[in-house]
Amino acid sequence: MSWVTGAEGSPYGVTNLPYGVFRYDGREPRVGVRIADLVLDLAGAEAVGLVLAAGTLGRPTLNDFMALGRPQWTSVRQRIVDLLTDPAHRPAVEPLLVPLDAAELLLPIEVADYVDFYSSEHHASNVGQIFRPGQPALLPNWKHLPIGYHGRAGTVVVSGTPVVRPTGQRATGQGPTVGPSVRLDIEAEVGFVVGVPSVLGRRVAAADFADHVFGVVLVNDWSARDIQAWEYQPLGPFLGKSFATSISAWVTPLDALADAFVPAPDQDPPVQAYLRDTPHLGLDLRLTVEWNGERMTEPPFSTMYWTPAQQLAHLTVNGASLRTGDLYASGTVSGPQRDQVGSFLELTWGGAEPVTVGAGQTRTFLEDGDSVTVRAVAPGPDGTTIALGEVTGRILPAR
C-alpha cells in the first residue's frame, strides 16, 4: 500500500511503475517513474542516494539504465516500491514527486534498430482478403515464421508529437502522381524494448527473452496505404511507413506484467525448434483505439499468433545482434471481430465501408486535424488492473 495520494486503486499504482524520461522546472531531461498522476524524479532520488543505479537515472534516455540488466532492473524496482510504500521514506521522497501536468514527457529511449512484425493472424488475413481477393488470405510462409521488416528508427517519436501528413507517389489509372497521402491510416501495436545486447553471430533463444527485453510500449505505426501500395514490391514498405512511428512515453517493465502472461494461441503446423517457446505465452493486453475521442475498436493482444519471445528468437536466428534500445513491434493487433481491429484499413474494409466518428462525422481514412489514441490495460496482481501509457497523435496538413 502506497502512501502516495491517489495511488491506491489507480491503474498506475505501486504494482505498475512504468519508466519514462521527462523534464520539469527547467532541469535537464532525466528518468522518472510514474505513480498515480505523479512522476518520481529518479535522477533526483539517485543524486541523494535514495536509489542506486550506477548513475544511469540522470541520463536523457532509459538506454543506460536498460543496459544494466535484469538483476539491476529488479532491484531498482524493488527499491522504488519500498520508497513509495514505507512511510518512513515519505519525507525524503515526497519533494521528488512532480505532478504529471508539470512534466514534459520525452522520447524515453534512443531507438537503435526498429523492427516491425506482422504477427496477428486476423490482421494478416484481413489484409490478404482486402488486397488479394479470391486468393488464400495468408501467404505460404506466414505460419512458419514471424514475418517482419526493419523500419526507420530515426522517425520514432514520443506520444503527443503531431504527425505531418506525408506526401509521396501513388498509383492512378494514368500512372503515378505525387501528392499528400489520401489513405492515411494507423496500426495499433505493442512494442518490446531491448535492454541487454547480444553478440554478433550468436542467436538469442526464446527462453532468454526476459534477460534481454526490458519492457513494453504502445506503438502507433502510422501508415500511408496509397504510398505503400505503389512502392512495396519487391522490397517491402518504405516511405509509406517511415514518416513517423509513435510510441508511448511510458515503458512498462516486464516485471509489472507478470500476471498478464497467458497461453498464446496453438500453432499449427508445429513451428521449427528455434521458435518453440515453452511455455508458449502471450500477453493479455487489452487495447482500445480512439478516433477523435470516440472508442472505435478493442484489439486483444492475447490473440497474436506469434509471441514476443518467438519474435526475438527469429530476429536473431541468423546471428544478427541486439543493441540496447532496439525496438521490435508486434505488427497490427487485430482480433477476430470487426470491432477488434487495429487499423482503419480493416475497420472500413479498405475504405469501402465508412464509419461514424462522433456526431455526423464519417470517415474512411484519417483527415487533417484527426487524432488517434491507443490505450491498453492488463491484469495486475490480486485482481487489479494496470494501464500502459497511451500513445496519441494528431494529423497536421501536408506541407
308 is a site residue for a copy of itself (CB under 8 A)? no
User: How many degrees, rounded to 5, is the angle at CA 279 between CA 275 and CA 284?
Assistant: 100
Taking the complex as a whole, how short is the minimal distance between the CB of residue 164 and a copy of itself, in angstroms?
4
CA 50/CA 56 separation, integer angstroms: 14
Q: Is residue 322 within 8 Å of residue 222, measured between CB atoms?
A: no
3-state secondary structure of 302: helix
176 is a site residue for a copy of itself (CB under 8 A)? yes
**Under rule CB under 8 A, how many of the chain's residues touch a copy of itself?**
62
Grid coordinates in use for 50?
535514495
Closest CA to 111 of 218, 199, 193, 200: 193
Taking the complex as a whole, how short is the minimal distance between the CB of residue 22 and a copy of itself, in angstroms?
21
Q: Of 33-41, 165-173, 336-344, 379-387, which part binds a copy of itself (CB under 8 A)? A: 165-173
Chain-centroid distance of CA 153 in Å reads 14
Would strands 163-164 and 385-396 be described as parallel, antiparallel, or unpaired?
parallel
67 is a site residue for a copy of itself (CB under 8 A)? no
E strands present in 82-183: 97-99, 104-106, 114-117, 148-151, 156-158, 163-164, 167-172, 175-180
Taking the complex as a whole, how short is the minimal distance between the CB of residue 176 and a copy of itself, in angstroms?
5
Q: Of 51-59, 77-85, 241-249, 379-387, which part binds a copy of itself (CB under 8 A)? A: 241-249
Q: Using the rule CB under 8 A, which residue among 14, 80, 322, 395 binds a copy of itself?
A: 322
Closest CA to 305 of 342, 333, 347, 346: 333
Q: Is residue 169 within 8 Å of residue 355, measured between CB atoms?
A: no
Grid coordinates in use for 73?
532492473
351 is a site residue for a copy of itself (CB under 8 A)? no
- Interacting residues with a copy of itself between 378 and 397 (CB under 8 A): 396
Q: Using the rule CB under 8 A, which residue among 89, 152, 276, 338 binds a copy of itself?
A: 152
148 is a site residue for a copy of itself (CB under 8 A)? yes
245 is a site residue for a copy of itself (CB under 8 A)? no
Q: Using the rule CB under 8 A, which residue among 273, 278, 359, 360 binds a copy of itself?
A: 273
Nearer to a copy of itself, 88 or 139 (CB): 139
Q: Which residues contact 196 (CB under 8 A, 6 or more apart)?
A: 66, 67, 69, 70, 211, 212, 214, 322, 324
User: 314 catalytic, yes or no?
Assistant: no
Q: Using the rule CB under 8 A, which residue among 77, 276, 280, 323 binds a copy of itself?
A: 323
195 is a site residue for a copy of itself (CB under 8 A)? no
* DSSP letter assigned to residue 181: -
Taking the complex as a whole, how short is the minimal distance between the CB of residue 332 and a copy of itself, in angstroms?
12
- Catalytic residue (one of 89, 122, 123, 150): 123
Q: Using the rule CB under 8 A, which residue among 145, 182, 262, 355 binds a copy of itself?
A: 145
CA 392/CA 371 separation, integer angstroms: 7
CA 165/CA 278 separation, integer angstroms: 43
Q: Of 79-87, 168-176, 255-263, 298-306, which part binds a copy of itself (CB under 8 A)? A: 168-176
Q: Using the rule CB under 8 A, which residue among 236, 265, 350, 354 binds a copy of itself?
A: 236
Taking the complex as a whole, how short is the minimal distance between the CB of residue 314 and a copy of itself, in angstroms?
7
* DSSP letter assigned to residue 6: T
CA 338/CA 82 separation, integer angstroms: 44
Q: Using the rule CB under 8 A, which residue among 182, 317, 355, 377 binds a copy of itself?
A: 317
Q: Of 71-79, 91-99, 174-182, 370-378, which part binds a copy of itself (CB under 8 A)? A: 174-182
Nearer to a copy of itself, 285 or 315 (CB): 315
Q: Is 181 exposed, middle or buried (0-12, 13-18, 19+ CB in 10 A)?
A: buried
Contact footprint for a copy of itself (CB under 8 A) = 112-113, 118, 139, 141, 144-145, 147-155, 157, 164, 166-169, 171, 175-176, 178, 200-203, 224, 227, 230-240, 242-244, 269, 272-274, 314-315, 317-323, 326, 396, 399
Active site residues: 123
